[in-house]
A and B are shown apart, each in its own frame.
Chain A
C-alpha cells in the first residue's frame, strides 16, 4: 500500500511539473476529476469481497481442523462400539458352543434349565450388553407333541397364546433368569426372530435383527441369533445340509441404547458430540438404532463411520455431529476485519487526497486564468497610460506653446521669470508623464539608464524652480547647495537624478508648513569622514536644545548633520586636498532636509513600499499616491546608490541618498544638450558682493549661488559689521584730494553689491537702517554699492520701507537660483539686458528662423492637411519645403544625389510606412558612402557632411509619445522625432539637435557648416 501511495504522489508531482512548464490543462490527470465518491464505494465493495475471501480461506482451515476432530472422535467411538459388540457376540458364540457340546454331544444331556440359568447368570458380567440369552430348540411339527410332553407345556407364540400349527417351531428351552418369561415361546412366531433364525441356520454365523423395541423394556435393541448344530460340520457344507443339521438357536437381545450410552459415558468430550447409530441394511429407509429421530446438533459437520457387528447382511453406521455450532474463528474474523478497516482507511485517504488534489488543480487553473487576466490588465494599464499621457501631452503642448509665445513678447523680469517658471513646470510635467510610463519599465526591470554629461547644479536649480512658487506661498525657505568639490559636469542620467530629487523635494514641500527645505550635494567621502568624526546622534543633544538651532531657517531638523557646526566642514575652504579628482567615479551624497511633520516611527519601515503612506489620513490631507518614494528607491539603486532617511515626528525628516556618477571628460562639455546645460551669464565675474546674513547656513547658500556667477563673496553676519567696514573705508578715503587715486583702491576693497537678508535687516532695523541710510549721502552714489534685499516673501509695506531705506526696486525672491539671481542683478545693474534678450530669443522662433532659413526640407505625409500645415510651419521659418504624399514618392525624391537638408517623415502611411522609407534611404546612403568619390559630391548645398558621407537627418512626425515608437524610430535609422501637430518648442528641440553646433550669430558660416549631421 505504501508503494501504491508513493506512486500516486509521484504522478501528482509529474503532472504539477507539466503544468508549471506552461502546458495548460493538457496534463493527463491520473486522478478522477469527478465521481470520487463512486470510486470510493467501488473500492469499499471490492475490498469487502476480498476481506470475505480472506475470512473464508482462514475459516476453511479452521473448519478442517474441527472436521478432523469430529472424524477422529467418531471413528474412535465406532471402533470401541464395534469391539465391545464383538466381544459380546463372541460370548454368545461361546454359549452356543457350550449348548451344542453339553446338550447334544453328551448323551444324555448334561444341561438343563437350571444349569443354563445358573451358568448364564454367573457369566453375565461377560456380556454386559446383553439383557439375556436363551436357547430355543428346533422342533419340527411332527415332533411337537413329543416335545410338549417332554417339557410338560405347550408351545406358545410371542403373544403367549398356544401356537397354531406350523412346519417347525423354535421354542425356548433354556433361558437366563432375566428372560425366563421366554420359556417355551416360539421364537419363530416373531417376525424379526423368525427371519433371524432362518438366516442364522443358513449361514451358520451370528446374525442380527433390525432394531425394534425389546420386550420388557422401552429400549431399542437387536436380537443376536446363533445356530446350534447337532454335529460338527465340515468346513465346506451346503446351505441345505446346514439347515438339516440345525438343532436349535441361541439368541440374545442387545440393548443397543444402553450399550452406546454406556460406552459414550466412558469417553471424554462426550458432551460435545451427538452420536446416532443407524441400521442401513435398507439404504432408502435407515432405521435408527440409537439416538433420537429428530435432527439436532450442528448440521454443518457430520461424520459417518461404518460399523461392522459381524453380520455381513446387516449394515450399521454411526453418525456424529457436534452438539453446538463450532465457535467463529476469531483469528480469521479479526484478520479479515482489521485488514478491511485498514483498506477502508486507505481508500478514504485516497478519496480525500483525490478531492484535495482536484481542488488544488482547479485552484491552480483559476490562478492561471487570473494571472492571464492580471497580465491582460497590466497590458491594458500600459495602453491606458500611453493614451492618457498622450491626451495630457496635447493640452500641455498648447500651454507650452503659449508660454513660448509669451516669452517672445516684451516682459518685465518678474513676468519673464514667472513665464519661464511656468514653462519649466510644464516641461517637468511632460517629463513626469514620461516617467509614469517608465514606471512600468522599472517594475519590469527594463529601465536603462542614460549616461550623458550634465550639469548637476542646473538640474537642481530646475527642480527648485518647480517648487519655488509653492514654497514662497507657504513661507518656507527652499535652498540648494552643491559643494564646490562636486565637479560641474558629471556623466549620468540627468532625468532619473532629477526625478529622484523632484520626488524628495516634492514630498518635503508637501509635508512642511514652517521652516526650511534644504537640498545639499556633497562628495560622499567628505561627508562620511565628517559623520565619523562627529559621533552623530539621532537624539536631542543637551546643548542644542537650549540654543537656537543653527540650521537654514533656525528650526530644529531631524538630522543635526546639517547644522552649522558640521556644515562648515563640508562647505569650508579647501581643507581637503582634492583627492577624488583623478578617480573615475564621483560618489555623491545628496540630502534633502525638511522641518515638516516627520514620519511616525511605526510608519518608517513602510516608507519605501509602493502606495504606502504613513496613514490613510495622510493622503486625505496631502494627496499623492505614495508611489514616489518607491520609484526613487528603485532609481537610486539602479544608479548604484542607497537611499535612507532620518526622521523625527513633528521635527522633520532628512532623506539621504548616494549616487555614483562618472567623471565627465572636459572635452564633452560642449556636447551637452541645451536643455540640460544652461549657460550662466558671465557678466558678473569678478563682482564683489557682501552678504549680510545672521544665519551662516543660509549665507553659505547665498554665497554658493553668487560664486556660481563668478562673484567674489564676503559674508558678514550683521549690518553693523557691513557698515563699520564701509564706514572705515569712507572715513579713510573721503578726502577729495586723494579721491581719484583711492577710487581704484576702493574698487578692490569695497563691495559692488550688498545683499541683505530680510530677517537680518528687520532685526537690525532700529540701529542698522538709520545709519545705513545716513551714510548714503556721504558715499559717492555712482560708486556706492547697490543694496538688494533677499527675501522668502515680502509684504508691500515692508517693500515700501525697504525702498525708503535705500534698497533697490528689485527684491531677490527665494528660493535662490543662479539664473534667477543673475536676471535680478541684471535688472538692478541694467547691464547686459540686451544680451539676455538675445539669448532668450535665440531659443525661440528667431533661433528657428536662423537655423531653418534657406534650408531645403522634404515633408512626407499622406495626409494633405497635415502636409500643408507642416509645410506652412516650416516655411514660416524661412525653409524651402517640398512635399511628398507617399513613401514611394519620397524615395524617388531622395534618390542620391539630392539637395535636401532634412526630412520630416510621417510614420503611419499606406503602402510604405516611415520606418521602411527611412531604412531604404539609409541603405542607399550607406551604399553611396562605400562607393568611391564621384562628381556627386560637388553638388552644392546637399546633405553631404564634411567628412564626405551622406546622412540626411530624418525626423519622424508622430502623434504617439510612447517610448516604444521612439525606440523604433531609432532602430530604423531616424534621428529624432517631433510630435504632430507641430509645436514650436518641440520643433526647436528637434532641430536644435542638428544645428546647435551652429550658433545663431554665425549666420555667414551657416550655409557651409550647417550640413553637419549629428556628431
Chain B
C-alpha cells in the first residue's frame, strides 16, 4: 500500500513535469537508455547537464557584462547550452535558448538580457523540480522504471 502510494506520487511528479512542458520525449529516451548496466544514467546525465550549464551560464553572464555585446560569442555559448538542453529533453529551457539565439541574430541587446533572465529562471525551476523528482524516485529500481515508462507513453499518446 505504501509502495503503491509512493509509486503514485512519483508518477504524478513525473507526469506533471511532462504535462507542464518542462520535459519532452528526449527525457524518455534517456530513461530508456538506463538499464542494469547503467542504473543511474539519467541522474548522471542530468548532473552533467547542471555542471555544464552552470559554467555556460556564468560564461554568458560575463559576456553580457561586456558592452557592446559580442553576439557571435553569445550565440556560440547558447548553441552549446541549447544542445545540452535538447539532449536531456529540457524543453522549456531549450525553447528559451532558441529565442535567445533569435535575439542574437537580430542583435537585440535588451531582448538578449531579458530572455537570458528567463533562461536562468527556467533552468533554476527545472533544477529544483528534477532534484525533487530524483529524491523521491528510486531510479535504480528497474521495475519501477518500466511502470513509469508505460505511463509516460500514455502521456505522450495523449
> Which A residues are within 8 Å of any B CB, using their own CB?
394-395, 397-399, 401-402, 405-406, 861-866, 868-869, 872-873, 875-876, 908, 910, 959, 980-984
Q: Is the CB of B30 within 8 A of A865?
A: no
Q: Is the CB of B48 within 8 A of A401?
A: no
Q: Tell me if B44 counts as interface (CB < 8 A to partner A).
A: yes
Q: Is the CB of B84 within 8 A of A865?
A: yes
The 9 closest A-B pairs by CB, nearest first: A398-B25, A865-B84, A872-B33, A869-B87, A863-B83, A866-B87, A865-B87, A865-B49, A981-B26
Q: Is the CB of A398 within 8 A of B24?
A: yes
Q: Is the CB of B84 within 8 A of A864?
A: yes
Which residue, B26, B48, B87, has most C-beta atoms of chain A within 10 A? B87
**B95 → chain A closest CB, angstroms:** 10
Contacts of A398 in B (CB 8 A): 24-26, 156
Contacts of B153 in A (CB 8 A): 402, 405-406
Which residue, A875, A876, A980, has most C-beta atoms of chain B within 10 A? A876
A866 to B88, CA, bound (A): 8
Tell which of B29, B49, B79 touches A983, judged by Cβ atoms closer than 8 Å.
B29
**B96 → chain A closest CB, angstroms:** 14
Contacts of B33 in A (CB 8 A): 869, 872-873, 875-876
Q: Is the CB of B48 within 8 A of A865?
A: yes
Which of chain A's residues has its CB closest to B53's CB? A865
Q: Is the CB of B41 within 8 A of A863?
A: no
Q: Tell me if B70 counts as interface (CB < 8 A to partner A).
A: no
**Interchain residue pairs with CB less than 8 A apart (19):** A394-B24, A395-B24, A397-B25, A398-B26, A401-B25, A401-B29, A402-B153, A863-B83, A864-B52, A865-B84, A865-B88, A868-B45, A868-B48, A868-B87, A869-B87, A872-B30, A876-B33, A959-B83, A981-B26
Q: Is the CB of A981 within 8 A of B156?
A: no
Q: Tell me if B86 counts as interface (CB < 8 A to partner A).
A: yes
Q: Is the CB of B86 within 8 A of A981?
A: yes
Q: Is the CB of B41 within 8 A of A872?
A: yes
Q: Is the CB of B45 within 8 A of A869?
A: yes
Contact with A along B140-158 (1 / 0, CB 8 A): 0000000000000100110
Which of chain B's residues has its CB closest to A861's CB? B83
> Which B residues are within 8 Å of any A CB, using their own CB?
24-26, 29-30, 32-33, 35, 37-38, 41, 44-45, 48-49, 52, 76, 79-80, 83-84, 86-89, 153, 156-157
Q: Given the known inter-chain contacts A865-B52, A865-B84, please indicate yes or no for A872 contacting B45, CB distance below 8 A.
A: yes
**B91 → chain A closest CB, angstroms:** 9
A406 to B29, CA, bound (A): 14
A405 to B48, CA, bound (A): 27
A295 to B83, CA, bound (A): 114
A246 to B45, CA, bound (A): 164
Contacts of A401 in B (CB 8 A): 25, 29
A982 to B30, CA, bound (A): 10
Contacts of A863 in B (CB 8 A): 52, 80, 83-84, 87
Number of A-B contacts (CB under 8 A): 75
Q: Is the CB of A868 within 8 A of B157?
A: no
Q: Is the CB of B83 within 8 A of A865?
A: yes
Which of chain A's residues has its CB closest to B152's CB? A402
Contacts of A394 in B (CB 8 A): 24
A394 to B157, CA, bound (A): 15
A290 to B33, CA, bound (A): 142
Contacts of B38 in A (CB 8 A): 872, 875
A910 to B76, CA, bound (A): 8
Contacts of B87 in A (CB 8 A): 863, 865-866, 868-869, 980-981
Beyond the given A402-B153, A865-B48, A980-B83, could you list 12 further A-B residue pairs with CB under 8 A, ordered by the A residue number? A395-B24, A406-B153, A863-B84, A866-B84, A868-B48, A869-B88, A872-B30, A875-B37, A980-B87, A981-B26, A982-B29, A984-B29
**B59 → chain A closest CB, angstroms:** 12
Q: Is the CB of A959 within 8 A of B86?
A: yes
A628 to B79, CA, bound (A): 36
A872 to B87, CA, bound (A): 11
Q: Given the known inter-chain contacts A873-B33, A959-B86, please indicate yes or no for A865 contacting B45, CB distance below 8 A.
A: yes
**A914 → chain B closest CB, angstroms:** 13
Contacts of B84 in A (CB 8 A): 863-866
Tell me whether chain A's interface is mostly helix, strand or loop, or mixed. helix
**B45 → chain A closest CB, angstroms:** 6
Q: Is the CB of B88 within 8 A of A873?
A: no
A980 to B83, CA, bound (A): 9
Contacts of A406 in B (CB 8 A): 153
A434 to B48, CA, bound (A): 34
Q: Is the CB of B30 within 8 A of A402?
A: no
Which residue, B29, B30, B89, B156, has most C-beta atoms of chain A within 10 A? B29
Q: Given the known inter-chain contacts A866-B84, A869-B87, A872-B33, please indicate yes or no for A402 contacting B49, CB distance below 8 A.
A: no
A872 to B29, CA, bound (A): 10
Which of chain A's residues has its CB closest to B79's CB? A908
**B23 → chain A closest CB, angstroms:** 11
**B62 → chain A closest CB, angstroms:** 17
Q: Is the CB of B29 within 8 A of A868?
A: no
A841 to B89, CA, bound (A): 27
A964 to B37, CA, bound (A): 39
Tell which of A861, A865, A873, A908 touches B29, judged by Cβ atoms closer than 8 Å.
A873
Which of chain B's residues has its CB closest to A845's CB? B32
**B39 → chain A closest CB, angstroms:** 12
**A402 → chain B closest CB, angstroms:** 5
Contacts of A402 in B (CB 8 A): 25, 153, 156-157
Contacts of B26 in A (CB 8 A): 398, 981
Contacts of A980 in B (CB 8 A): 83, 86-87
**B54 → chain A closest CB, angstroms:** 12
Contacts of B35 in A (CB 8 A): 876
**B68 → chain A closest CB, angstroms:** 22
A916 to B149, CA, bound (A): 40
Contacts of B49 in A (CB 8 A): 865
**B155 → chain A closest CB, angstroms:** 10
Contacts of A873 in B (CB 8 A): 29, 33
Contacts of B52 in A (CB 8 A): 863-865
A399 to B86, CA, bound (A): 16
Contacts of A399 in B (CB 8 A): 156
A401 to B76, CA, bound (A): 29
A873 to B34, CA, bound (A): 9
A505 to B52, CA, bound (A): 50
Which of chain A's residues has its CB closest to B95's CB? A391
A984 to B80, CA, bound (A): 23
A64 to B33, CA, bound (A): 120
Contacts of A395 in B (CB 8 A): 24-25
**B65 → chain A closest CB, angstroms:** 21
Contacts of B83 in A (CB 8 A): 861, 863, 865-866, 959, 980
A318 to B87, CA, bound (A): 126
**A400 → chain B closest CB, angstroms:** 10
A398 to B44, CA, bound (A): 23
Contacts of B86 in A (CB 8 A): 959, 980-981
A249 to B79, CA, bound (A): 143
**B140 → chain A closest CB, angstroms:** 16
Which residue, A395, A401, A863, A980, has most C-beta atoms of chain B within 10 A? A863
A256 to B49, CA, bound (A): 139
Contacts of A981 in B (CB 8 A): 26, 29, 86-87, 89
A908 to B77, CA, bound (A): 12
**A883 → chain B closest CB, angstroms:** 12
**A54 → chain B closest CB, angstroms:** 68
Which of chain A's residues has its CB closest to B41's CB? A872
A921 to B35, CA, bound (A): 34
Contacts of A405 in B (CB 8 A): 153
A394 to B76, CA, bound (A): 21
**B126 → chain A closest CB, angstroms:** 14
Which of chain B's residues has its CB closest to A908's CB? B79
Contacts of A984 in B (CB 8 A): 29
Q: Is the CB of A869 within 8 A of B80?
A: no
